[in-house]
Amino acid sequence: MIILGIDPSLNSTGWSLVSKNDKANSFIVQDCGLISHVSGGELFPKLRNIYDRISDLCQNNPVEGMAIEQTIVNKNAESSLKLGMVRGVCVAAAFAAKVNTFEYNPKTIKLAITGMGNASKEQVMFFVNSMIDKKLEKVKFDITDSVGIAIAHILIHKL
């Protein structure tokens, strides 16, 4: 079973394809990466690119579920709205590919991965690397966060 983990962001959406290795009681990162854009620029081409990339991942891999981080509303309403739009295109892409979709609060994800709901990004990265077969080195937090989201989904649902 492969879970697509998504850490949504307008300029740097992290994604990963993660499965459980039952024999080693660990997780396998099948593939991972970033959907990156330069800050600034037009909104709709960025959203279209994110939609297309998530669609490709869902259609060209045996993805059985997508886990995505919930939006935390911050003081900047415009940023929160844009992040909601990113989440929307990710979910729409998964729906179009008939992939079941789940969302998780950041504290729930951190608690499942580290045992601490307020863990730092560095702590999440450390624990994710301790849970996977091959360490992720020199990658951005957006990628390790996406792996953590997928792992949290697998742990929460005992898959």
Q: Which of 31, 42, 142, 145 is catalytic?
A: 142
Active site residue 133: no
Q: What is the dihedral of CA 53, 110, 142, 100, to 10 degrees?
A: 0
Choose among 73, 106, 79, 133: nearest CA to 5: 106
* Rounded CA separation 15/4 (Å): 7
Q: What is the dihedral of CA 78, 79, 84, 86, to 10 degrees?
A: 120
Contact of 140 with 9, CB cutoff 8 Å? no
Residue 47: both structure tokens together: 């959203």
Q: Which of 22, 56, 69, 145 is catalytic?
A: 69
Residues annotated as part of the active site: 7, 69, 142
